[in-house]
Amino acid sequence: MAIIAGTATTFAGSPGIQGMREDLSDMIYNLSPTDTPFTSSVGRGTADAVLHEWQTDSLAAPNTANAQFQGDDIATFTPASVTQRLGNRTQISRKEVIISGTLDAVNKAGRRTELAYQMTKRAKELKIDIEAILLSNQAKVTGAAATAPKLASVLSWIKTNVDHVGTNPTGDGTDARVDGTPRAFTEAMLKGVMKGIYNNSSEEPDVVMTGAGNKTVASGFAGGAQKTVDVTERKVIATVDIYVGDFSTVRIIANRFMRPRDVLLINWDLWSVDWLRPIRQIELAKTGDAEKRLLIGEYTLSAKNEAGNGGVFDLTAP
């Protein structure tokens, strides 16, 4: 079939094409993930200096030779053990926005003001930046005139209950892990770390936190909840969210912002994000025909006692 000559159409060059209105939806579809399991679940505290410090302690090992004579009045004194003093540096993270006066004034689809829309986006971006920083492999940096200070992340603290190929950090935040050759994640690795936490701590982990790939691997572990079939919905529930181990029962959760090569066993109570300056919005000086805003915060990570946590490191990411 052919179009009769002179028929007005929507194609370029046709009569009336200039009068067509645009069809732009007022909905803006943004599917970028913003969930932050670690930051949202650990404690929140305050810091009063750029070096934030705390103390850890432990009991002496059991003494099976602790048998004494009747009537013995001669006591020997064991020197009191001292606490370990640990600390972390604060880190400053920020996001900036600058919007011209014209852009904020024109009629826009999907938002009333460009400034408010962009500030909302930057706030979400800052939130996921912090999550990724806390779970990265980063040692603390004191900072100097030309060097930004950095906090020691989770991976630079965990050393006691681990399954790994590379080299453990010292465990005081001064150095990062040294990665080794990746291998497949197995249930035996997870069980070994859970056993270590039981032997070395009175605390139990709350979660096993993995990347997306190793979350699917963990779903195949024998210790996971039984797979079921929901008859009414006609669907198979083939995921494991609860793992019942010999020493503790933990939830298995995925985290998009951690390294895929790591699996962490975390006790939420033994970590906190401590703020020297909670995130706030600052209106910067106006120097022209534009509005400038700054979102900024200064914070650190407290590792209250790493022995109540664990990790399986140096893993392939399916």
Cβ atoms of 168 and 301 within 8 Å: the answer is: no
Cβ atoms of 209 and 263 within 8 Å: the answer is: yes
- For residue 237, the model assigns a pLDDT of 45
Q: Which of 50, 24, 44, 284 is nearest to 148 (CA)?
A: 50
Cβ atoms of 97 and 125 within 8 Å: the answer is: no
What are residue 89's DSSP bridge partners?
Answer: 51
pLDDT digits 0-9 by tens, 68-120 = 888 888 777 888 778 889 999 999 999 999 988 888 777 767 777 888 888 88
d(CA 32, CA 98): 22
Over its length of 318 residues, how does the chain's per-residue pLDDT go in tens digits? 677 675 555 566 656 656 555 655 656 566 666 789 999 999 999 999 999 998 988 888 888 888 888 888 877 788 877 888 999 999 999 999 998 888 877 776 777 788 888 888 999 999 999 999 999 999 999 999 999 999 999 999 999 999 999 999 999 999 999 999 999 999 999 999 999 999 998 889 999 999 999 999 998 887 655 444 454 554 444 455 888 888 888 999 999 999 999 999 999 999 999 999 999 999 999 999 998 999 999 999 999 999 999 999 999 988
- For residue 236, the model assigns a pLDDT of 45
- For residue 26, the model assigns a pLDDT of 59
pLDDT over 70, % of the chain: 84
How far separated are the first and last CA of the chain, in Å rounded?
53
Residues with Cβ within 8 Å of residue 267, at least 6 apart in sequence: 203, 204, 205, 206, 308, 309
HEC assignment per residue over the chain = CCCCCCCCCCCCCCCCHHHCCCCCCCCCCCCCCCCCHHHHHCEEEECCCCEEEEEECCCCCCCCCCCCCCCCCCCCCCCCCCCEEEEEECEEEEEEEEEEHHHHHCCCCCCCCHHHHHHHHHHHHHHHHHHHHHCCCCCCECCECCECCECCCHHHCCCCCEECCCECCCCCCCCCCECCCCECCCHHHHHHHHHHHHHHCCCCCCEEEECHHHHHHHCCCCCECCCEEECCCCEEECCCCEEECCCCEEEEEECCCCCCCCEEEECHHHEEEEEEEEEEEEECCCCCCEEEEEEEEEEEEEECCHHHCEEECCECCC
Burial letters for 296-308: b for 16+ Cβ neighbours within 10 Å, e otherwise? bbbbbbbbbbbbb
d(CA 302, CA 48): 13
Cα radius of gyration (the chain): 28
- For residue 229, the model assigns a pLDDT of 47
Given its phi and psi angles, is residue 98 left (phi above 0), alpha (psi -120 to 50 degrees) or beta?
A: beta
Cβ atoms of 180 and 196 within 8 Å: the answer is: no
